[in-house]
Structure 1
């Protein structure tokens, strides 16, 4: 069970990347007061939590309704996570997220902080397709009820990390700098690539054994 929790934490932390979200938060909340930024951070985190917990609880049921096997979703989800990892290693993901943040700033003036909290912060920067896929995959792999409950705790910890990163965004950006952020992103990308390949391998093995 302990190995499962560690694996879940690593997968979700790398996929959501709370530290990497700090510059995006600053971009979409430019021009807002400190108090409004805190409101945006809270609203975005709560919204993302509701979305992710929905798929945590009902993800397997959704797959069953759609007639998708867990093995098939493992392969598909693993491929999706691998593509995210490739973007991280080659520095493409940060550029894509920045583009999403810039578009949101253009579409929603700083005064529309409620909309900015929903898009792009909650969706797709926190609760994006990769995070949702990872949660459904991990919830299906939980070996027992205790591990399943532990996964819920991991999700909440990651979301808490996102909130903390938003609140400390200016300090994080000054502390790390561009070079450190690039190095960390690439290292986490390699880790996510390995984890995603494991998901694909598990899915293929399940197909073969059926």
Structure 2
């Protein structure tokens, strides 16, 4: 159980990337009061949680309806996570997030950023959806499902704290430290993605 929790926690932490979301959120909420920024951070994490739980619990049924085998999804999900890892190592993901944030900030009528772009696609994006479905497929029984969901709750709580403390956190860490952390997390995610592909190939070819 402990091993599953840490595996799920690390995977979701790397994919959701609270340290990477914090500076983007700080930029999006410059004009907001501390109370407004705090409420939007809480709301964004709650919405992301609901979205990810839906895919975690019902994603397997969706795959069955589409006649997609779990091993195929493991391989596809592994490649998707590897792409995210590549973008993190070479800072492509951060650049794309910043461009998306600039577009949102440039639209005067957009005030509440909790749903878009924070909840989706920054927190509950394709990578996070794929990761939570893969982890849930690995879970065996009710107790392990709760362990995976517990890891998801833990990551989103940390994300919420990072978003609320985004401004002071950026001033404390600085851009260089953030870049180093992002690259290290990207390397770790690449290894986890490779493992998903290996597991999928073993299952598909009965190795």
CA distance in 1, matches of 2:142, 2:111: 39
Task: Report what 1:176 is aligned to.
Answer: 173
Task: Report what 2:49 is aligned to.
Answer: 49
Post-superposition offset of 1:135: 0.2
- The partner residue of 1:192 within 178, 189, 192 is 189
Q: 1:43-82 CA distances to partner (integer Å, 9 max, x unpaired)?
A: 2111111101111111111111111111000000000000
Count matched residues: 207
TM-score (normalizing by structure 1): 0.95
- 1:36–1:113 CA contact under 8 A, matched in 2: no
Secondary structure, counterpart of 2:7 in structure 1: helix
Task: Report what 1:118 is aligned to.
Answer: 115
1:143 aligns with 2:137: no
List gaps (5 residues or longer) in structure 2: none
Task: Report what 1:72 is aligned to.
Answer: 72
List gaps (5 residues or longer) in structure 1: none
Post-superposition offset of 1:88: 0.7
CA distance in 2, matches of 1:187, 1:84: 13
CA distance in 2, matches of 1:46, 1:13: 16
Q: 1:111-151 CA distances to partner (integer Å, 9 max, x unpaired)?
A: 6433x211100001100000000000000001333221111
- 2:88–2:94 CA contact under 8 A, matched in 1: yes
The runs of at least 4 consecutive aligned structure 1 residues that moved more than 6 Å come to none
CA distance in 1, matches of 2:46, 2:110: 17
Task: Report what 1:127 is aligned to.
Answer: 124
- 1:40–1:113 CA contact under 8 A, matched in 2: no
Secondary structure, counterpart of 1:113 in structure 2: coil
Task: Report what 1:16 is aligned to.
Answer: 16
Q: 1:21-63 CA distances to partner (integer Å, 9 max, x unpaired)?
A: 1101011112111121112112211111110111111111111
* Coordinate RMSD, CA, aligned: 1.3
CA distance in 1, matches of 2:47, 2:142: 26
Post-superposition offset of 1:9: 0.8
CA distance in 1, matches of 2:39, 2:5: 31
Secondary structure, counterpart of 2:106 in structure 1: helix
- 2:4–2:147 CA contact under 8 A, matched in 1: no
CA distance in 1, matches of 2:42, 2:13: 19
Task: Report what 2:157 is aligned to.
Answer: 160
